[in-house]
Amino acid sequence: MERGKLRRFHMPLVGLLVWLAVIGFASSPGLAASKISIVYSAKVISQSPVWIAIEQGFFEKRGLDVRLTYIGGAPPVVATLLAGGADVALIGGVGIIRAYLGGARNLVFIGALKNVLTGSIVGKPELRTVPDLKGKKIGVVRVGSNPHFLAVEILKRFNLDAGRDVSFIQTGGQLESVAAMASGAVDAIAVIPPQDTQVIQKGFRLIADGTALRIPYAATALATTRDTIAKRQDILQGFVDAIREAAQFLFTRKEVAMGIIAKNTQIRDVKTLELAYNAEVPVLERDFRVDLQGIAAVLESAKSDFPQAPAARPEDLVDTRFLK
C-alpha cells in the first residue's frame, strides 16, 4: 500500500520535473539566440549560397533556426536591417554604402561573395550598341540596386549621362525586369546572372557585357549592424560559417547547386543555367574577403550626392572578425 502511494506521488513529480525542464529550455537564452532572421535582395547566383545552406542543412548543423525573407532591391533591405527586422543580409554593397554616407553608421560589411560587377544590359533586337539607349527606358530592380549601378557605370563609359540621357524604370525584382522586357514595358534591362542569360536566350540582344569590364564593386556582400554584432556575435559566426560552406558547395557540386538555383529562380532551361553558372561562379570570392577597392569605387560614384564621400574610409565599413 505504501509502495502504491509512493508510486502515485513519484509519477506526478517526474512529470512536474519534465515540464519544468521543458519550460526552462524554452526560455533558455541559448536556444532563443539560435533563431536568426536573414534577408536577401536578389534571386541571383551570387546570393544562392543562402538557398544552398538551407537545402543542405548547413544552418541546422550549426544550431541555427533560420527565417529567410526575400525583399527585392537593396534600399528596402537596408531599411529592414536598420529597423531591426533582420539580423543579417545578403545584399549589393551600394545600398549599404549610401545609407552609411547618409548617417546610418551602424551598418557594416562582414564578408563578401562578389567584388566585381557582373551582369549585362539586354535590349530589344533593334538596339545594337550602348549609344542606341539614348532616350530609351531601362528597367532596373530599383534605383540604388546593383543593376542600376551597373547600368550607370556602363553608360558612363560611353559618355551617356544616366540622369539625362535615359529613363530608369524600377521593376521591383530581377524576374520582374525580365517580365517588363518581355511585355515591351521597357526598351532594355540591366540584369545580373542568371537572368541576363535567360533574356538573351529568349531572343533579346546583348547590348553591353558588364562582366567583361571587371568593374571593382562591393557587388554581393554580407551585411549587418554593429548593434547585432554586439548582441549576437556567436550567431553571426555560425551564419558566416554556414554561408562559406554553402559557397564551397556551389563551387564543387555544380549539378546539385544548379538544381537549387533553378528551383529558386524559376529558370528551368539547363543551357541557360549552365551559361550563367560558368560566367558567374569564377568571379565569386573563395575567402569572402571584402575588397576595399570595390567600396572605394562606390564611394567615388556617390560623391555627387554625398559631398562627405571622399572623406569616408572604406575600412571603416568592414568588420573582418568572422572571417578568421
Query: Residue 162 sits in a domain of what CATH number?
Result: 3.40.190.10
Task: Specify the pLDDT at position 12.
Answer: 44
Same domain, 200 and 280: no
Task: Specify the pLDDT at position 245.
Answer: 98
Torsion angles phi and psi, residue 229, rounded to 5: -60, -45
C-alpha span between 131 and 200 (Å, rounded): 19
Task: Specify the pLDDT at position 3.
Answer: 38
Task: Specify the pLDDT at position 195.
Answer: 86
Task: Specify the pLDDT at position 71.
Answer: 96
- For residue 120, the SS3 value is strand
Task: Specify the pLDDT at position 1.
Answer: 42
Q: Model-level pTM greater than 0.85?
A: no
For the chain, the domain total comes to 2
Other CB atoms within a 10 A radius of the CB of residue 306 amount to 17
- For residue 90, the SS3 value is strand
Series of mean pLDDT values for 10-residue runs along the chain (324 residues) = 37 38 40 82 95 98 97 93 98 95 98 94 97 98 88 94 96 92 96 87 93 90 98 98 98 98 92 91 95 94 91 97 94
Task: Specify the pLDDT at position 5.
Answer: 35
Residue 101 belongs to what domain range? 35-116+217-323
268 domain residue, yes or no: yes
Task: Specify the pLDDT at position 29.
Answer: 44
Same domain, 247 and 102: yes
Taking alpha carbons only, the member of 105, 109, 155, 157 closest to residue 134 is 155
CA 86 to chain CA centroid, Å, is: 13
